[in-house]
Each structure stands twice: as C-alpha cells, then as structure tokens.
Structure 1
Amino acid sequence: MGELKTLNEAADYLRSSPKTLRWWRAKNLGPTSFVLGRHVMYRQSDLESWIREQVDATKRGGQPG
C-alpha cells in the first residue's frame, strides 16, 4: 500500500500548512486523501503523483523534451 502520512506529515512534506491541506480537502483540490479511523491520511505515492502533476501543469522555460 505504501507509506501513509498524517495531515501534518503531508503538510511538512509539501512544505505547506495543515490549514492549507484542510482547505484543499474541503474544496476537493490537492493530493488524494482519505479518512482512516478519525484521521485524514495521505499515501506517499499520491503526494508524489500530485507534485508531478503540478510540475507538468506549471513548468516554464528550459529546453523542450
């Protein structure tokens, strides 16, 4: 299944605040998350995929290819 991260751990990994991740979750934005028991959790692989999507959608400059 891969490594699981809590909301706070995911926020640290993304260099964001837990408040931002809560807002993204409420607006159905940001990386995929789910509830396990009473805790919002993130898979490491989902965080990495979301980062790649953001890079692809927003990168500028550099050489093509």
Structure 2
Amino acid sequence: MAPLWTVQDVSEFLGVPVNTLYQWRHRGYGPTARRVGRYIRYKQADVIAWVESLHSESA
C-alpha cells in the first residue's frame, strides 16, 4: 500500500494553497479525502484520478 498524502503534499502536487483544499473538501469538490484520526489524508491514486477526470470533463 502506498503511503497516504498529507494536505501539504496534495497542495504542493496540485499547486494550490492548503486552505483551498480545505474549502474544496467543505464544498464536496476536489479529490477524495479520508479522515485518519484527526488528520485529513489522501490516496495518491485518488488525487491523480481526480486530476485526470478534470481533463476528460473539459474535452
């Protein structure tokens, strides 16, 4: 199993501020996130699939 990404990891990967990720999560937008204890974590595959889905929606 691949290590889970932190909010900071996803922020750097997508090039968006951390606060944007929290806003997206609140609005039900963005890559699927999971709560692990009190932390938000992302699966790398989910983030990449979400980015790829954006490309297919604009095509």
Q: Same fold (TM over 0.5)?
A: yes
Q: Which runs of 5+ in 2 are unaligned?
A: none
Percentage of matched positions with identical amino acids:
29
Q: Larger % of helix: which?
A: 2
Q: How high is the TM-score relative to the length of structure 1?
A: 0.84
The C-alpha deviation readout for 1:20-41, integer Å capped at 9, x for no partner, is 0000000010000011111100
Q: Deviations over 1:3-58 (max 9, x none)?
A: 31001111111111101000000001000001111110000000000010001112
Q: Which runs of 5+ in 1 are unaligned?
A: 60-65
* RMSD, matched Cα: 1.0
Shift >4 Å, 4+ stretches: none
| Greater Cα radius of gyration, structure 1 or 2 | 1
Aligned to 1:30: 30
